[in-house]
Chains A and B, each alone.
Chain A
Amino acid sequence: MLKKGKRRVAIRIDMTPMVDIAFLLLIFYMSTTTFKPPEVKSVSLVPSHSQVKLPEKNIINVTVTAEDSIFIEYIDTKTEIVEGKEVTIPQRFYRYAPIERFNYELVDVRRQLGLNVELVVKADRDASFGVMRKLMRTMQEVNINQFSLVTELEMG
């Protein structure tokens, strides 16, 4: 006896809705993604329950690494002449500011950016309290009495 030949059924699936959704998601992800700016040093943040949004503009970012070295990071506009026109280009600057010189560097950066910039301190969880205490003391000395600590949201 002959085996019955398999019947081939031509299946056609309309892929249009799937493709629509795929593109929708694609466009969503493409438009919402902003790549993380390069960091001087990677820092593992301390968890906390604080839910205050971090200021994003007009900030001086102070990074304290696990080895207690301090970096000041800020965005300043630079004026350049492109094709005969003056163009201001925002540019990211980094400075290494050891604690003995932190005072001087901070004042210098503040002079460049103006006084209404906020200070954001991003410290590694393994940084010592000693260096943070000196940092806070320096801020008091230059009359910065409010700053934000960057933390990671902890649940529970």
Chain B
Amino acid sequence: MGAVETGDIQARSFKKKGLRRPKRRIGIHIDMTPMVDIAFLLLIFYMVTTRFYTPQAMEINLPPLEAEDTAIPVGKSHLISLLVDSQGRLFWAFGTDKPKYFEEERALRDSLISWNQRAPDRMVTVVKIDTGARYSRMVDLIDEIQVTERIFQQVDSEYSYRFSIVDMTQYDLKQLEEAKKALGLGGEVTS
């Protein structure tokens, strides 16, 4: 493999005595093919197996338990309710209105923006999710709320979206059932 070629060994005549001998030049040829093979093999292995895995975090703040009982007065016209039934369907309501089915969820962000534009610093959104629904629905809604918050923050950097995740009451469940009946949507509510 590693072949060593000896160069011109024929000693050149030393012209002057006492001078150092001129260095002998030896041409070395090493066959690098196997090394390069291995290098590429490893390179391909690492390139294929590497996934730049960067999970993102969503920060959630929970109110302290003592604070939960303190009622925060919210004007009827400043309350938005987002309700998710056990099947994961989204309903929405203003104030004490009857919940309406929100069919096109892609438009949720635009709707949130337009609802909040009425009074950006006074609107409060309440998220109520049925315990039978999937947890991903909670993340979906919080995500849309946070995106909306960021959009408002472009105008007013102090802005913070007021929202909270609240348990569903029997009253909410009844309202949801009625709304579904009116729409002809089936499905039992689990909780």
Contact = CB atoms under 8 A, between A and B. Distances in A.
B171 interface: no
Interface residues on A, range: 35 or more
A22 B47 contact: no
Nearest to B139: A46
B58 interface: yes
B146 A129 contact: no
A107 to B, nearest CB: 15
A62 interface: no
Contact of B135 (A48, A125, A150): A125
Given A22-B43, A145-B61, 20 more contacts: A19-B32, A26-B46, A29-B47, A30-B42, A48-B140, A48-B143, A49-B146, A53-B56, A55-B57, A126-B134, A128-B131, A129-B135, A130-B132, A133-B129, A136-B62, A144-B62, A146-B62, A150-B57, A151-B58, A152-B55
A52 B135 contact: no
Interface string A123-140: 111111111110010011
B122 interface: no
B59 A148 contact: yes
Given A129-B134, A149-B139, A52 B58 contact: yes
A48 B43 CA distance: 33
Contacts of B143: 48-50, 151, 154
A32 B131 contact: no
A19 B36 contact: yes
Interface in B160-191: 165, 167, 191
Contacts of B167: 133
Contacts of B50: 29, 32-33
Contact of B59 (A32, A36, A146): A146
A94 interface: no
Given A48-B139, A50-B143, A139 B62 contact: yes
A91 interface: no
Interface in B118-136: 129-136
Given A50-B143, A128-B132, A130-B191, A33 B46 contact: yes
B56 A125 contact: no
B42, B53, B64, B147: which has the most chain A beta carbons within 10 Å?
B42
A132 B141 CA distance: 15
B138 A132 contact: yes
A153 B60 contact: no
A129 B57 contact: no
A59 B39 CA distance: 38
A151 B57 CA distance: 6
B134 A148 contact: no
A22 B36 CA distance: 8
A125 B62 contact: no
B13 interface: no
Interface in B26-83: 32, 36, 39-40, 42-43, 46-47, 49-50, 53-65, 68
